Structure 1
Amino acid sequence: MTQRRYRLGLVVGKFAPLHAGHEALVAFAAARCEQLLVLSYSRPEFLGCGVEARRRWLAERFPAHDCVVLDDSAIAQRCAERRLPPRGLPPNDADDATHQDFLGWLLAELLQRLPDAMFGSEAYVAPCAARLSHRLGHPVDGVLFDPQRRTVPVSASRLRASPADWDRHLAWPVRASLVQRVCLLGGESSGKTTLAAALAARHRTTWVPEYGRELWEQRAGRLQEGDMLHIAREQQAREDAALRTARRHLFCDTSVLTTCFYSLAMFGRVHPEVLARAGRRYALLVLCAPDFDFVQDGTRRDAGFRARQHDWYLQALQERGWPFVLAQGSLQQRLDRLSAYLPEGLPSEGG
């Protein structure tokens, strides 16, 4: 039996996150359509799966298809362009009729697209397609794909709660963007390296050592001003590379903010690119307190220098308005304090 070929197909989803089941659905739909419209919206957004992230994922994974990701601001802008009264997204937990009415308005008024088929894996596909047919005055077939989830046994809600499944069900660009980078700052001998390694072990992930210290030891403490830019670039390159093996969290022993400190301390100025790179944001910033005896390993200055470093970090973070967690006490006390800030799942953003 020859399968029907549609002119325009439609796939709608939150894609929070975009996973292998979604990709299989899109491939199924694309094989049956001349063109495919992939439409995404969510209210609320889910942490790590915001509108910009989903736009990037869909563009990277489905470059041949028309991918549209909307939030209230994007809808308002399109409404203004078409001189339509603005309309907000329905809540995710709204009833089926509300979602069907909104989708019909979206296709008819805002996007002005007439799909011939709607593809999905849920029971709502058939009644939604029937409602769209009536609203659009154009027949829309409801086409089910793998409703029992046998092809790819996964759901977005499960993945949000279980990062252990990410490796199997998320494409690399999606998985990497969901990893939350945690940066540990602190003066010399403040325990940040020990804490970074311990956190990585507890959360079964990886951590990124401080490259500046590595280079300092290789050069026997003889660094040039030009090395500061090299350190900044290499530190961030190693962070980015570590995303391939990280799971849920990536613990970073220092950031380019540290490079700024040493550049000022050693040379009295900071290269503009180093300063710009120091603006990289992290999901969580941890400042390790200098609250235990200073340990001299042969490469460090002294306790007074450590105290000045700590004060500089406090001022730098406050000037930038960056919130941080102060890690104090023993290693166990620090681990216990940070556990509240490092959830394993992806909770919802907003209401």
Structure 2
Amino acid sequence: MNLYGNGLVIGKFYPPHAGHRHLIEAAAAESDNVYVIVLGTRFESISRADRAKWLSAEFETHANVRILVQADDCPVDYGSDEIWKAHVEVMRSALQNAGVAKVDAVFTSEMYGYQLADAFNAQHVLVDPDRSEFPVSGTLCRDDLNAAWPHIIEPARQGLATRIIVVGAESTGTTTLTRALMDHYRSRYPTIGDVPEYGRLRTYEKLDELRSLNPGAGVEDLVWTTEDFDLIAKRQNALENAAASQCPLVIADTDSLATVLWERRYMGADSFGAAEAAANLPSRDIYLLTDHEGVDFEDDGIRDGEHIRADMTEWFKEALTAAGHSWVLVSGSHERRLATATTIIDLILEQRSTFTSPPWAKRTTLTGATA
């Protein structure tokens, strides 16, 4: 039997991390119901909705945890009774809107929790105030997202990762550019993960299977199915998401949207094996489309699309535009392509790693470090 009926957890969750998860889990273990209020201001660069979505995904198996979202643009002044009242009433209204009339326990890792609990006539439960179990804070995450990445909850990592997707027709330099970009950024992002083109790997697998029965078979003898493209698209998504889990920068050599076009190339416009996976892609920051012009076609034994390279480049332009994606056609020499790509990626990384806060935002200091 739980100690409390309704537990309350509040926070910015900017972004949500392992310490937040520990706090909510502690509340869930001692309460029949836990209400988590995501309090965010208009001055922060991650939306309240995203933070709530990530927390909801993290706790989807916890039936007694409910995530609430509430705007709170009131300044913070712990010495002002009037300002304190303003914050409490925002929380109280959020709870009442969710049908919660009474709070039995307030769970925090902060000393202000006693005052907050008093405001709700509830018990205060202090959880890991020294951050000894989980030495992480929102401040630490915002100061150095790369270093804090392992401490951020998995759904937030998927949402916060910067995703650079390199696509293009056959033999247009996509893999060459992808590898060069990974080499370029590896010193800044040493945990960056490889996201290879699974369709190429599947081609080798199918060719090996066919040659085990017919040693003289070639790539032109392969028979593709909608099931193949369903598998390729799902595996491509999985590879990309695995890379996002381990590093805040993802540079992928193709994706499942491209798989849709390869399916069109081999199966015709009425085949939709890859469609489901391509319809559930995480947000992309930019697509780099490698131009076919100025690149010699290299026959590596599994390529057979020289005649359709120009058409496929147009297919990519049409598909990316129709889906509303940001994309850049990279042309010219390898050096020129790399320079174009790094110029835009550097700007994206600067933007994505900058977290805005209102001037009254409090910085959390962990023992032995500012975080």
Question: SS state of the match for residue 326, structure 2?
Answer: coil
CA distance in structure 2 between the partners assigned to 1:113 and 1:21 by the alignment: 28
Q: How many angstroms does 1:142 deviate by? A: 3.4
Residue in structure 1 matched with residue 55 of structure 2 by the alignment: 54
Secondary structure of 2:329 counterpart: strand
Q: Is the 8 A contact 1:18 1:57 kept in 2?
A: no
Deviates more, 1:104-113 or 1:149-158: 104-113
* Paired residue type of 1:65: N
Matched, 1:193 2:180: no
Structure-2 separation of matches of 1:150 and 1:104: 31
Distance 1:308 1:350, change over 3 A: farther
Q: What is the alpha-carbon distance in structure 1 between the residues aligned to residue 94 and residue 305 of structure 2?
A: 64
The offset of 1:208, in angstroms, is 1.9
How many angstroms apart in 1 are the aligned matches of 2:5 and 2:146? 38
Alpha-carbon distance between aligned partners in 2 of 1:91 and 1:235, rounded to the nearest angstrom = 43
In 2, Cα distance between equivalents of 1:349 and 1:307: 43
Pair 20,317 (structure 1): closer, same or farther in 2 beyond 3 Å: closer
Q: Do structure 1's residue 140 and structure 2's residue 122 form an aligned pair? A: yes
Superposition pairs for residues 226-245 of structure 1, below 5 Å?
A: 226=225, 228-241=226-239, 243-245=241-243
TM-score by length of 2: 0.73
* Deviation (angstroms), 1:11: 1.1
- The alignment partner of 1:91 has SS state of coil
Q: 1:347 to 1:53 in 2, by over 3 A?
A: farther
For residue 85 of structure 1, what is the aligned residue in structure 2? none
CA deviation map 1:8-60 (0-9, x unaligned): 32111233333221233234434554543333343346169443222212324
Report matched runs for 1:101-140 at 5 Å: 101-108=89-96, 110-130=98-118, 132-133=119-120, 139-140=121-122
Structure 1 gap ranges (5+):
72-88, 134-138
CA distance in 1 between counterparts of 2:290 and 2:75 reads: 42
Q: Residues 232 and 259 of structure 2 are in contact (CA less than 8 Å); yes or no, is this contact kept in structure 1?
A: no
| 2:197 corresponds to | 210
Aligned twin of 1:340: 347
Indicate the SS of the match to 1:340.
helix
Deviation, structure 1 residue 206: 1.2
5+ unaligned residues in a row in structure 2: which ranges? 78-82, 208-217, 359-371
Once residues 163 and 223 of structure 2 are traced to their aligned partners in structure 1, the CA distance between those partners, rounded to angstroms, is 29
Give the Å deviation of 1:341: 2.3
> Distance between the aligned counterparts of 1:110 and 1:172, measured in 2?
27
Aligned to 2:314: 311
Output the CA distance in 1 between the equivalents of 2:269 and 2:352: 41
Shift of 1:102: 0.6
Residues 308-327 of structure 1: CA deviation (Å, up to 9, x unaligned) = 22122112222333222333
In 2, Cα distance between the equivalents of 1:64 and 1:166? 27
Secondary structure of the corresponding residue to residue 135 of structure 2: coil
1:296 aligns with 2:298: yes
Give matches, 1:1-351, under 5 Å. Answer: 5-30=3-28, 32-44=30-42, 46=46, 49-60=50-61, 63-70=62-69, 89-91=71-73, 96-97=83-84, 98-108=86-96, 110-130=98-118, 132-133=119-120, 139-160=121-142, 161-167=144-150, 169-201=151-183, 202=185, 203-204=189-190, 205-218=192-205, 219=207, 220-221=218-219, 222-226=221-225, 228-241=226-239, 243-245=241-243, 246-281=246-281, 282-284=283-285, 285-298=287-300, 299-301=302-304, 305-329=308-332, 330=335, 331-337=337-343, 338-343=345-350, 346-347=353-354
Of stretches 317-326 and 241-250 in structure 1, the one that deviates more from structure 2 is: 241-250
Distance (whole Å) between structure 2 residues aligned to residue 212 and residue 101 of structure 1: 55
What is the deviation of 1:271? 1.5
The DSSP-based 3-state class of the residue aligned with 1:157 is helix
Secondary structure of 1:272 counterpart: coil
Amino acid at match of 1:57: E
Distance 1:30 1:171, change over 3 A: same
Give TM-score, length-normalised by structure 1: 0.76
